[in-house]
Amino acid sequence: MISAKVHADELNLPVEIARKLKGKRVTISEVSEGFLLKPISEDPISEARGILKGKGFTVDRYLQYKQVEKDLET
């Protein structure tokens, strides 16, 4: 896997894509269709924030699961 920092003057990309990737680290992977540019997360915790939103998983439900596990252990 290759990673590189994108500089606007180094790649000839459409303006919209260049703006989104400018200054970000990306991985470059060769796939059957060509090359895939994928941004590397600078802060994985920030990236994961909200991933369970709308899934019905709440802190209360988590605590219920933990209580069930605790009851099964004893």
What pLDDT, on a 0 to 100 scale, did the predictor assign at position 69?
Answer: 95
pLDDT confidence bin for 51, thresholds 50/70/90: confident
Confidence of residue 58 (pLDDT cuts 50, 70, 90): confident
Q: Where are the alpha helices (DSSP H) in the chain?
A: 15-21, 44-48, 59-73
| Percent of the chain whose predicted confidence (pLDDT) is above 90 | 19
Confidence of residue 14 (pLDDT cuts 50, 70, 90): confident
CA distance 55 to 61: 12
Domain boundaries, the chain: 2-73
Strand partners, 58: none
- Estimate to the nearest angstrom the gap between the alpha carbon of 47 and the chain centroid: 5
| pLDDT at res. 12 | 81
Please determine, for residue 45, whether its predicted confidence score (pLDDT) is greater than 80: yes
Measured CA to CA, the distance from residue 57 to residue 10 in angstroms comes to 44
Which residue in 45, 46, 9, 3 sits closest to 24, CA to CA?
3
